[in-house]
Structure 1
Amino acid sequence: MTATNGSPLLAVRGVKTYYGNIIALKGVDVDVNPGEIVTLIGANGAGKSTLMMTIFGSPRAREGAILYEGRDITKMPPHEIARLRIAQSPEGRRIFPRMTVLENLQMGASLDNLKYFDEDAEKMFVLFPRLKERLHQRGGTLSGGEQQMLAIARALMARPKLLMLDEPSLGLAPLIVKQIFDAIRELNRTQGLTVFLVEQNAYHALKLAHRAYVMVNGVITMTGSGRELLENPEVRAAYLEGGRH
């Protein structure tokens, strides 16, 4: 469900981000159009998570601009960015370990959406049936795969227009990875949810994505459709050798 007409939902233009004096992003341009799944692949340390965090305002871009629905959000604080219906499932999951699954979902629902809580929670249980079985269990006692499902579900409870996922497959068994990627595909197909995905598992990410970018050392080196990059010899040699299917 790709929409390429009109302006992008998210536009990153010439963004440079620093950690102290070290430049992590060296003038990055990325577009995410409404209804697309766009993925950013690259080796560990390439700057992928830094871009995700920069979009969310921490760290801030020192140069360039980040536009969301045509509005400049480059200098906006993270809590205000979240109110724009951008939701993030960060690397390392970061659920609330002492809270139950139910309480984590309640934390994800914004105050505006609490009236839809039961309806939205039911949708999460259809997407991730395991969460319903674990509803009153503390987040910290869930398996890694269940915690990742909870992190994504918590982000979705905010009813986002744009879902940003940072390394959702990290450290998970292949079967769980497939479940999570299938859920993302289903959300995009049935609800038109726009997804920006940062992922080291290039094979799964490129199979899922409408469009993709490759990042090397803070620079976008290649872009194309997910299929084009999946079949690109350079991409295959760098990211797909060793059969990471």
Structure 2
Amino acid sequence: MAVPASEPVLAVRGVHTYYGAIHALKGVDIDIMDGEIVSLIGANGAGKSTLMMTICGNPQARHGNVIYRGEDITRVPTHEIMRKGIAQSPEGRRIFPRMTVRENLQMGAGITDMTHFESDLERMYTLFPRLKDRQGQRGGTLSGGEQQMLAIARALMSRPKLLLLDEPSLGLAPLIVRQIFNAIRDLNQSEGLTVFLVEQNAYHALKLAHRGYVMVNGKISITGTGKELLASPEIQAAYLEGGAH
């Protein structure tokens, strides 16, 4: 079902999430529109990855709702959420280290169906040429940057309508970070892919984003366009001083 232009592809409404007694998310509201790149920035421990995992149903929100394309998915199991057109490249990459690059990509494609596997494989190899050179190599032997490319490509193999990226630049050299962010921009511009990006590198995240949110202690504190947030003295002082430009 197509989402009307005025309706968010993803709407998070009043979400509270707990880890045991720890109140990690405290009434979070966000909207992601079709074709947008939306970035969520904040300090380590602010709750950014918890929000990403809550959208994916693990952990589930204790209060509030997660609405995807008009459907409440708050209580839907994670594997069913993935089949609805959402894919995640998680923090820490979590590729299958003993599988080859090609086998990892097969696992991504297997979430939906394998009908377009060969053509999608070539798309990923065009997007990340390094993976084509390494296609027979085990995932665990790749460099950190190559593993991150593989994690993103594996998510894209399911042909998602919404791509969730959790800390894609973490621990990577600046050149590799630029390559990955350029690939995300290309996918958005050429295919209209909707992207929700959780990222500690505020400069890269906001430069890429149409809109951004800032999370502090489990709450959204500021929102605006990427340009507005980049230009904000408050954001510059808190997140961009000495940051990687």
Compute the TM-score of the two structures, normalised by the length of structure 2. 0.97
RMSD after superposition: 1.1
Structure 1 residue 111: deviation in Å? 5.6
Q: Which amino acid aligns with 1:78?
A: T
* Partner residue in 1 for 2:131: 131
Structure 1 residue 244: deviation in Å? 2.0
Q: Which amino acid aligns with 1:70?
A: G
* Partner residue in 2 for 1:154: 154
Q: Which amino acid aligns with 1:216?
A: V
1:79-118 counterparts in 2 under 5 A? 79-110=79-110, 112-118=112-118
User: What is the CA deviation profile of residues 49-75 of structure 1, one whole-angstrom value per residue up to 9, with x for unaligned ones?
Assistant: 000000000111000000000100000
* Partner residue in 2 for 1:26: 26
Whether the aligned pair in 2 keeps the contact of 1:98 and 1:138 (CA below 8 Å) is yes
CA distance in 2, matches of 1:20, 1:58: 13
SS, match of residue 130 in structure 1: helix
Whether the aligned pair in 1 keeps the contact of 2:83 and 2:112 (CA below 8 Å) is no
Compute the TM-score of the two structures, normalised by the length of structure 1. 0.97
1:119 equivalent to 2:119? Answer: yes
SS, match of residue 7 in structure 2: coil
CA distance in 1, matches of 2:167, 2:186: 18
User: What is the CA deviation profile of residues 108-153 of structure 1, one whole-angstrom value per residue up to 9, with x for unaligned ones?
Assistant: 0036431100100000011000000000000000000000000000
User: What is the CA deviation profile of residues 67-120 of structure 1, one whole-angstrom value per residue up to 9, with x for unaligned ones?
Assistant: 000100000010110110100000000000000000000000036431100100
State the percentage of identical aligned residues: 73
* Partner residue in 2 for 1:74: 74
CA distance in 2, matches of 1:147, 1:232: 34
1:242 equivalent to 2:245? Answer: no
CA distance in 1, matches of 2:190, 2:93: 25
Structure 1 residue 22: deviation in Å? 1.4
1:1-245 counterparts in 2 under 5 A? 5-110=5-110, 112-245=112-245
SS, match of residue 115 in structure 2: helix
Q: Which amino acid aligns with 2:231?
A: E
SS, match of residue 132 in structure 1: helix
SS, match of residue 185 in structure 1: helix
Whether the aligned pair in 2 keeps the contact of 1:90 and 1:166 (CA below 8 Å) is yes
Whether the aligned pair in 2 keeps the contact of 1:37 and 1:195 (CA below 8 Å) is yes
Whether the aligned pair in 2 keeps the contact of 1:67 and 1:73 (CA below 8 Å) is yes
Q: Which runs of 5+ in 1 are unaligned?
A: none
SS, match of residue 115 in structure 1: coil
The number of residues matched between the two structures is: 243
CA distance in 2, matches of 1:79, 1:160: 13
Moved over 2 A (4+): 110-113
Q: Which runs of 5+ in 2 are unaligned?
A: none
Structure 1 residue 4: deviation in Å? 9.2
